Structure 1
Amino acid sequence: MKQHNSSSLLYRILFSLRTHIVIGYVLLMGFSSVVGTFIIDQILFFHVQERIKKSLVQEMQEFRMLAYGANPETSQPFGDDIISLFKVFLKSNIPDDDEFLVALLNGQIYSSSPLALPEWFKSDSQILKTLSQIKIAEKGEFSTADGEVIYLAQPIITDKNHGVFVVLHATAGERDEVSNAVKLIIQVMFVVTVAFSFLAWVVASKVLKPLNLLTQTTQSIRETDLTQRIPVKGAEEIAQLTITFNEMLERLETAFSSQRDFINDASHELRTPITIIRGHLELLGDDPQERQETIELVLDELDRMNRFVEDLLLLAKSEQPDFLNLEVVEINSLTLELYAKAKALAPRQWRLDAIARGKIRADRQRLTQAIMNLAENATHHTKEGDAIGLGSDIRNNQLRLWVRDTGEGIPLSDQERIFQRFARGLIKHRRSNGAGLGLSIVQAIAEAHSGRIELFSRPHGGSTFTIVIPLKPIPKSSNRGNKNLLFHRPES
């Protein structure tokens, strides 16, 4: 068991996101170090070569100035006196490190500075033979056992003598210095990479800590407990992920809570008629009149259960994309049709407030169902002789369909709650025995049309329910999840 736990721990460490981040960081650092070191090496050596060439050119310019000038010892031009020219110049000029000033006379080394010359420039070397025979000034480089050598050569030819002044510079020393500098850079980069890899491991642990908390929270979440949240720190991507996860938990908690409430309320609503039916059937006697009364009661309760189930199915269908059958609807004919149907619901003072003219793309039957629910709800909260108004209007490129009544009104504390499923108003004279799904259905139909429902009500001042729908075409994926539009009360 211990071996299994240790191997599992090793696997998690080797294949964890933190390890991948550190490995990626090390690979990136290593690649950048290799490329950077190569570039630094080339740049340094290029600058060394440029400095060497400048030094050679300077030495050659000084020699030429002296050759075309006067002998400082005699104040007379050198003329054909090549030997004096070589003596004066070599005596008065000191070469740089790895630099050699050589005077060749008639194929031999006449003098040099410094006196000790490297093996590759001895009297019998091919390089010396080649340089001693040149007749025009030239520059170049050649390879030796000690590395590359750069040179400038200036011939001086007279009737009796063939002289050549050569400035040479061996680059092996500078090459070694550059190599040593690059090696030092590599060592420093290695130490820095190791140190920063360790720091990257520590930083990655802190950065990924919210992800670990996210994993732990996810593993600990159960259907019965969705209250856990992850602390949000900072404003970077991990914090945004944490916020998004917490918001998802909020939605899940709300959904599960709503589901539990729905199941509890639905079971309660169904349990009551079932209990009534069962009680009357158990006490059913042989009296025909009693049997008839029981059958009528049972049928009434079954009708109520049937309506309740149909309402639940309708709310479930409202979440589907094919809930609406859209068509072009004439608003004025729809309004007149709604008014005609509403007048048959109950004896009230029915009034047609306004009729809008125009067209809208909507589901005629669903809108009729919503307005009839509102009208029927208005009859339950009014009595004979009270006024109920119905009308339509177009304002701000939106269709407004409303039902208003002069009933007892809705308390402010209930105005948001009544849109919830199974919610019933707390009005004393309420005459409906429904399950409290009517306004939820109206709201679902309004949202399916990318609209909303507005409520304006005052105690003892009546209520006005308004369905607001945009006139623009409804997209296939309608905006169905806008919970902030579930309840809206306009300013009075």
Structure 2
Amino acid sequence: MTAQPDLVARVTLRSRLIITMVLLAVLALLASGAIVAVLQHRSIHGSVDDQLLRTRDELRVLAEQGIDPETGQAFAGPSELLHTFLARTVIGAAEGELAVVDGQVLWVASEDVPLRPEDDPDLVDHVMPLAAGDEIVVDTVRTDTSHYRVLVAPVQYPQSTGALVHVFDLDLTEAELRRTMTLYAAVAVGTVVLLVLVAWIAVGRLLRPIEELRKAADSIDERDLTTRVPVRGRDDLAALSATINRMLDRVQRSVEGQRQLLDDVGHELRTPITVVRGHMELVDAEDPVDVRDTRALVLDELDRMGVLVGDMLMLAKATESDFVQPRWFDIAALTDQVLEKARALGNRRWRLERIASTEAFLDPGRMTQAWLQLAANAVKYSEPGTAVTLGSALERGEVLMWVRDEGIGIEPDQLALVRERFGRTKAGAAHAQGAGLGLSIVESIMAAHGGRLDIESTVGEGSTFTLVLPLGPVDPADLEPTLKMEAI
């Protein structure tokens, strides 16, 4: 039931993007076509007017000279002048000429001229009054036959009057423009169709990560948290996919951490609860000694349960964003503070091997907790009076803080085990009690800082636990792989 609305929303988004692209393209093509049409139309009309004015000037020159170039004699009247002018004029396919003398069309262009203005009565009726005037007129005339741009140039002699009528058929003149714009419209339509096809494919590919993201989100449930969105390319959608994957990693770690916490709590608390319940059922309320012994045992088990619950809560909190609150802090001061606090952990020969004089970006409270945990482990797995050495140093942009003991050591094949939750070696379990959560807490603190815990150990000689910490701040994205190991 939920897939149908999601599909409609996705198609709608795709359609909206394509419609927007097509509308922008259509508007751009329309604007370009309109601009070209207007400019070309103005250019054509300007060219027509220029030609009419040149014709006017040529007629004026011939009239002012008043000499027939062929005979060398003066023109006797407007008829001879206009006849000579028409005979010498070369006109185009969209042009026509005629001569009016004494109110009558007397001369027309040769028969090879296609445009015949004398055949349009409306045009002739319009120019006759202008031909009888004394002013040169350039006018636009629209008749039932066509649309004209007309020059009427009167010529006056004492005994007679006449006029040259030069005509441009604007419909024929603009025919080429109309053909060009028709071709432009056809190309524009084809371009829009091609744009729709290309946009449909391109937008589909562009929205594919979103579709994959939707499918990944649909496939995630409490039983399967491993689905991730494929990251392709290096664009914004790829960055979004990577961000979503990191979010899914955090969700997976959180859910698996809760599962692990519940399993661990159920496993580890079952034994002390069983022990307490068993002794409480068997205690003899009338025997003060039995009551006192049972009370001491119950309190001891409850104390152990309290420590265990505190450690478990600490590990659960390690996945939260505010688990550490780092700031710039002096390593030398931190080293002195930890050494002074560690002296109270046990009767050992406490030594300071080296001290770093620098500042690092860390949470001093959490780092003190981790360092003292290592010191407490050193006391727990070594004999009274042996040496426990602390130190700090700066090497290659990293801060090193270590604890070295002379304890029982760890077998090489057991180093991975002691890093696990509740992981304890047989020798360690026989030497001292514990839940096996100390190093897990230390590694959680180091992971939150973008650091790590290094372990070097020799059986029977002792161990060195080193906290390795970046000197400056760490990008939170770089903490993901490290934190993942701690949360699971």
TM-score over 0.5 (shorter chain): yes
**What residue identity is the alignment partner of 2:251?**
L
Alpha-carbon shift at residue 389 of structure 1 (Å): 0.8
Alpha-carbon shift at residue 99 of structure 1 (Å): 1.5
**What residue identity is the alignment partner of 1:73?**
E
Give me the whole-angstrom Cα distance separating, in 1, the residues matched to 2:52 and 2:306.
Answer: 108
Residue 52 of structure 1 is matched in structure 2 by 48
What do residues 70-91 of structure 1 show as CA deviations (whole Å, max 9, x unaligned)? 74532x2656654333223322
Normalising by structure 2, what TM-score? 0.77
Shift in alpha-carbon separation, 1:423–1:133, aligned structure 2, 3 A: farther
Alpha-carbon shift at residue 351 of structure 1 (Å): 0.9
Give me the whole-angstrom Cα distance separating, in 2, the residues matched to 1:327 and 1:19.
Answer: 50
Give me the whole-angstrom Cα distance separating, in 1, the residues matched to 2:195 and 2:439.
Answer: 63
Of 190-199 and 427-436, more deviation after overlay is shown by: 190-199
What do residues 194-235 of structure 1 show as CA deviations (whole Å, max 9, x unaligned)? 565466445545554554443333223211112334555666
**Root-mean-square deviation (CA), in Å?**
4.4
Note the 1:435-446 alignment, pairs <5 A.
435-445=435-445
Note the 1:13-52 alignment, pairs <5 A.
16-52=12-48
Give me the whole-angstrom Cα distance separating, in 2, the residues matched to 1:417 and 1:108.
Answer: 122
Uncovered stretches (5+) of structure 1, i.e. residues with no partner: none
Alpha-carbon shift at residue 161 of structure 1 (Å): 4.6
Shift in alpha-carbon separation, 1:398–1:148, aligned structure 2, 3 A: same
| Contact kept? 1:406, 1:463, Cα under 8 Å | no
Shift in alpha-carbon separation, 1:378–1:427, aligned structure 2, 3 A: farther
Residue 267 of structure 2 is matched in structure 1 by 268
Shift in alpha-carbon separation, 1:411–1:255, aligned structure 2, 3 A: farther
Give me the whole-angstrom Cα distance separating, in 2, the residues matched to 1:15 and 1:190.
Answer: 24
Residue 335 of structure 1 is matched in structure 2 by 335
Shift in alpha-carbon separation, 1:47–1:458, aligned structure 2, 3 A: farther
Give me the whole-angstrom Cα distance separating, in 1, the residues matched to 2:215 and 2:457.
Answer: 50
Correspondence 1:85 to 2:85: no
What do residues 138-190 of structure 1 show as CA deviations (whole Å, max 9, x unaligned)? 6x332423565334455555554544434221313344554465456445544
Shift in alpha-carbon separation, 1:418–1:91, aligned structure 2, 3 A: farther
Uncovered stretches (5+) of structure 2, i.e. residues with no partner: 110-115
Alpha-carbon shift at residue 320 of structure 1 (Å): 6.0
Give me the whole-angstrom Cα distance separating, in 1, the residues matched to 2:51 and 2:162.
Answer: 22
Give me the whole-angstrom Cα distance separating, in 2, the residues matched to 1:467 and 1:49.
Answer: 85
Note the 1:21-420 alignment, pairs <5 A.
21-56=17-52, 59-60=55-56, 63=59, 71-74=68-71, 76=72, 78=74, 82-106=78-102, 108-113=104-109, 114=116, 116-122=118-124, 124-125=125-126, 127-135=127-135, 140-145=138-143, 149-152=148-151, 154=153, 156-175=155-174, 178-179=177-178, 181-183=180-182, 185-186=184-185, 189-190=188-189, 193-194=192-193, 196-197=195-196, 200-201=199-200, 204-205=203-204, 207-230=206-229, 238=237, 241-285=240-284, 288-317=288-317, 334-356=334-356, 365-393=365-393, 400-407=400-407, 409=409, 418-419=418-419
**What residue identity is the alignment partner of 1:260?**
R
Correspondence 1:457 to 2:473: no
**What residue identity is the alignment partner of 1:382?**
S
Give me the whole-angstrom Cα distance separating, in 1, the residues matched to 2:238 and 2:327.
Answer: 46
Identity of aligned residues (%): 29
User: 1:482 pairs with 453, 469, 479, which one?
Assistant: 479
Alpha-carbon shift at residue 365 of structure 1 (Å): 4.8
Alpha-carbon shift at residue 283 of structure 1 (Å): 3.4
Partner SS for 1:439: helix
